[in-house]
A and B are shown apart, each in its own frame.
Chain A
Amino acid sequence: MKNVKKVLAIALASVMAFATVACGNEGTPAVGTESGKTAAAGTWRIGGIGPTTGGAAVYGQAVQNGAQIAVDEINAAGGINGVMIEYTFEDDENIAEKGVNAYNSLKDWGMQMLLGTVTTTPCIAVSAEAAADNMFLLTPSGSSTDILEGKTNAFQVCFTDPNQGQGSAQYIGENNMASKVAVIYDSSNAYSQGIYEKFAQEAKNYSFEIVSAEAFTADSNTDFSVQLQKAKDAGAELLFLPIYCEQSALILTQANAMGYKPTIFSCDGMDGILTLDNFDVALAEGVILLTPFVADATDDATVSFVTKYQAAYGEIPNQFAADAYDGVYIIKAAIEAANATPDMSVSDLCDALKEAMVNITVDGLTGTGMTWEATGEVSKDPKAMVIKDGVYVGY
């Protein structure tokens, strides 16, 4: 009995070991010789990483789909410099450790450029790994400055967090929207915290005053009555919500139940609130948000993207999908500017793209005339939008 158990254990272990080695055999040539040759014959291998399972899955899926649309478009039009793109997306469950595993897995696949990762925390871990490998990294939506700090290979499509905080403070101050402002932010989220910190710093330069600033964390993000009550008691006329739309929806619902009706001001994380399940869109009436992308815009590029996205995935794309779509085109522009070829090594390719990034100007869905600093920060203008009759209109 015991012996059989042992035999089975050994058998199991050897199967596992075999599987590992087999994978190794499968994967290794793909990195080494073989893929080098196939790549030379003609593919760009772009990898993507983001959460497609778990709590943040909505963002990962949006990026995966948005980038896929761009890749299909480019391939249909003949690729980049006549070379087709292959695109693979890996799940990281919004966990830093899994993000690094996903990154390594993509490297085995033969990734040459990384369009990712989607969420900030895994992105910090992955960008450190990518910097060590000198792999070109363009994150569609990882907005923390920690991603870029001390790395030359990392670039962003979205605004940095401080950038949005500054923009918001400036907007509220210059338009004299309120004199007393309350903030509710997510202290466990680098995005939210980053915006809030810069906002609080900048607020000192304007005529309004922050009368209450209350935090919540990922573990306590369902009941906001305490934070709302404090804001109400302090007499805040404007509520600044630098958070994601799921929590914003709850806050709007709970504020409405309390009979508290301040002006709501938010950033790009609010995008998506109109398509959220079980949310009464009427409550979002009059919400003002700074966002680079609105699905209801009428320019040709946006209309074409939204139509394709809806046809393929049955949803209205959010800003994350648009960022990813732009990301693929930015990579295309950089490759074309650098005159790069797919047979270059990952590191050489990265060096070439780095140089090209600071020289290119890209018009995309999330901004016209986007340019990049050598640090990796993008410069583009946020647009202020207000929700009227259930759609976004320019403010």
Chain B
Amino acid sequence: MKLRNKFKFDKRARQSLITYAMVIIAFVVVQILLATGSMTSLMKGLLVPLCVYAILAVSLNLTVGILGELSLGHAGFMCIGAFTGAFFSKCVQDVITIGWLRISIAIILGSAMAGLFGFLIGMPVLRLKGDYLAIVTLGFGEIIKTVVNVVYIGRDENGFHFSIKSNMDLNMTENGKTIVKGAQGITGTPKDATFTIGIILLLVTLFIVLNLINSRDGRAIMAIRDNRIAAESVGINITKYKLMAFSISAALAGSAGVLYAHNLNTLTASTNNFGYNMSINILVFVVLGGIGNIRGSIIGAVILTLLPELLRSFNLDNLRMLIYAIILIVVMLFNSAPSFIQFREKVTAVVKSKLPKKGGVN
């Protein structure tokens, strides 16, 4: 029994190490490709978004896979992080001129704000379960997006001006500059996000999530997922642990949002980047990578982000979105359709029966 437990622990630690190693190897490979100049501009441009989506997928997996609650409002937290971070960077653009320092502070602020909102939203919402929770989080995500779309904030020598009506209602002096311009969002965020910062942030995210999973708190969270009543009966504080997982997940999504905002010159809250479309996209990464499988989330996010862009290179421009959808369906079927699983088992049997022979020859 003891041995088994020890073995299990070792296995977990090993699994975590493999995940870290995978990210670091990817980083090194990319650095080599960059140094030798054999990377296309398209790939260079995708490096930071890949980190963003990997972080989002890992953080959502914390809610969906570890806590076992379906959240469809993940992009809302990303939105909060993105706007907080971009707002901060825009304000201090002339004061702090060191890119990495500025984005680091922005990431801390953005994730703190997103975590705070995760906490506030989590309190009423986490009383619900299953489908109900999914719908309510969907609603919250949309509320966040809609509120961001009507906010106008400007700054002049008298300080900040705020309005939810229009740019002109800010009543600024001549030198005033609008920072957040309603539905047009924030324009001119400094491009501070680099692949290195993205990878560091991804590693930090992995460190937080994997350590949480393998800790006492993590086991409590998983106990709630597996059997709520049993967990409650052994004295686990359900609300506390649910809120903990949910807010950490939100905060990490916020940090991904900051990274996203600092990679593009313009930041708007539209359905495609911060609405339910994005929330579902992130969920697709998680489901494709395997619910509860952190490493799978990263792989899923990377593959699904690269796929539509790689299809660009194959002269299939008009069929691009169609092919993407078909591949998605095929992969999902391959992962979970019963007949495919049977097929895979058959293949396993064949491979297994052949393997020893090969071993014998060697």
What's the minimum C-beta distance from A125 to chain B, rounded to whole angstroms?
Answer: 5
- B265-301: contact bitstring with A at CB < 8 Å (1 yes, 0 no)? 1111011110000000000000000000000000100
Q: Which of A92-100, A242-250, A289-297 contacts B (4 or more CB under 8 A)?
A: A92-100
Q: Is the interface of A mostly helix, strand, loop or mixed?
A: helix
Taking a contact as CB atoms closer than 8 A, the residue among A1, A53, A103 that contacts B345 in the complex is A1
Chain A 341-374 near chain B by CB (<8 Å), digits 1 or 0: 0000000000000000000000000000000000
Min C-beta distance of B256 to chain A, whole Å: 13
Q: State A41–B102 Cα separation when bound (angstroms).
A: 46
Q: Which A residue's beta carbon lies closest to that of B270?
A: A218
- The listed residue (B44, B183, B270, B272) touching A187 by CB distance below 8 A is B183
Q: Which residues of chain B are within 8 angstroms of A27 by Cβ–Cβ distance?
A: 40, 42, 313
Q: Do the beta carbons of A193 and B184 come within 8 Å of each other?
A: yes
Whether B351 lies near A96 (C-beta < 8 A) is: no
Task: Give CA–CA (A149, B188) in the complex, Å.
Answer: 10
Interface SS of chain B: helix, strand, loop or mixed? helix
B303 within 8 A of A: yes
Give the size range of B's interface with the partner: 35 or more
Query: CA A16 – CA B33 in complex, angstroms?
Result: 16
Determine, out of A18-26, A75-83, A276-284, A327-335, the stretch whose residues face the partner at the interface.
A18-26
Q: Is the CB of A4 within 8 A of B167?
A: no
Contact A97 B273, beta carbon cutoff 8 Å: yes
B264 proximal to A (CB < 8 A):
yes
Q: How far is the CA of A129 from the CA of B264 in the complex (A)?
A: 9
Q: Given A124-B187, A128-B191, A193-B184, answer yes or no on A95-B272 (Cβ-Cβ < 8 Å).
A: yes
B306 at interface (Cβ–Cβ under 8 A)?
yes
| Most interface-central of B40, B166, B321 (chain A CB within 10 A) | B40
Q: Within A130-155, which residues are at the interface with B (CB < 8 Å)? A: 132, 146, 149-150
B93 at the interface (CB under 8 A from A): no
Chain B hits for A9, CB < 8 A: 299
* B188 / chain A contacts, CB cutoff of 8 Å: 128, 146, 149-150
User: Given the complex, which residues of A lie within 8 Å of B320, measured CB to CB?
Assistant: 91
Q: Which residues of A are found within 8 Å of B44, using beta-carbon distances?
A: 104
Name the contact of A24 in the complex, choosing from B39, B268, B299 (C-beta under 8 A).
Answer: B39
Residues of B with C-beta under 8 A to A4 = 344, 347-348, 351
Q: Report 14 cross-chain contacts, Cβ distance below 8 Å, ordered by A residue.
A: A24-B39, A90-B317, A91-B320, A96-B264, A96-B265, A96-B266, A97-B273, A101-B46, A101-B312, A124-B187, A125-B264, A128-B188, A219-B146, A219-B149
